Amino acid sequence: AVALLHVRESHFAMTDALMTLLLWTSLALLVTAALTDREGHDRSRVDAMLCAAAGFAGGLATSTKYNAGAVAVAMVGTQMVWLWRRPSAALSLRTWMPAVAFTLAFIVSFLAGTPYAVLDYPRFSEDLRYDFTHLSGGHNDIFLGRGWVYHATHSLPYGAGLATFAAALVGVIPFIRRHGRAAIVLGAFAVPFYLAVGSGYTVFFRYVLPLIPLICLLAAFGAAVLSRWFARAGLTEGRALALAC
């Protein structure tokens, strides 16, 4: 709610803010599916419904802005979580139904928002190539370095706030250790998304907006870890948490 970059881009009503909302709706549903511990037919049915809803939101997010398509990799991460827990289920058709439901819903919602991807495919393909070409070069011949470096040193720290970004770095390992399944799903999205938006020399801050909620989530874990460290140093619990925040 108070992350600098998200507040600014919401003020300007950019497509990135709407895309982030739809994208994280999809990710939240996938994480919910990955954390389910039900068994049998009920589990398969509920997981398929969750993944279909996630695919629908993900397709709308991708229709809003194409780089949201990285959410499809999060579905792969969700499937990996299930197979990691039950490797023998890989031979069951029921195991793959959630992925099928996600894919079909994703395609339907994407085409509902971007119908001319089919109705005028040549123009769609041409414009898509232009987007990739524009991303690979600097905007208006202004070169600030490749996105992989620039976003890590500028966009994310200043977009989330320096203190929040620092706390997020502290929280990465605790989050992975405590919530491994969720980390796989979110990491399956975040890594390819970052590689995609950072591959060129056009480096608008708003390109990393979908990563800001993840930074805030990790920062919460970082603040909790720091508060425990301060508490061990002799501070009261309340003072330790206040200092960490």
Model pLDDT, residue 208: 93
Report the b/e string of 96-132 with b at 16+ CB within 10 A. Answer: bbbbebbbebbeebbeeebeebeeeeeeeeeeeeeee
Whole-prediction pTM value? Answer: 0.87
pLDDT digits (tens, 9 = 90+) for 23-52: 999 999 999 999 887 555 566 788 889 999
Residue 145 region by backbone torsions, left for phi larger than 0, else alpha for psi between -120 and 50, else beta: left
CB 36 within 8 A of CB 198: no
Neighbours of 187 (CB within 10 A): 17
pLDDT > 90 in the chain, percent: 56
Helix (H, G, I), strand (E, B) or coil at 8: helix
Residue 243 banded pLDDT, cuts 50, 70, 90 = low
- Cα–Cα distance measured from residue 17 to residue 139, given in angstroms and rounded to the nearest whole number: 21
Amino acid at 1: A
Q: Which residues pair with 139 in a beta bridge?
A: 142
Average pLDDT rounded to a whole number, residues 230-245: 62
pLDDT digits (tens, 9 = 90+) for 130-165: 877 777 766 656 667 788 898 999 999 999 999 899
Q: Check whether 100 has a pLDDT greater than 70.
A: yes
Look up tokens 């969720």; give the residue.
182
CB 49 within 8 A of CB 104: no
Q: Which of 165, 180, 219 is nearest to 77 (CA)?
A: 180
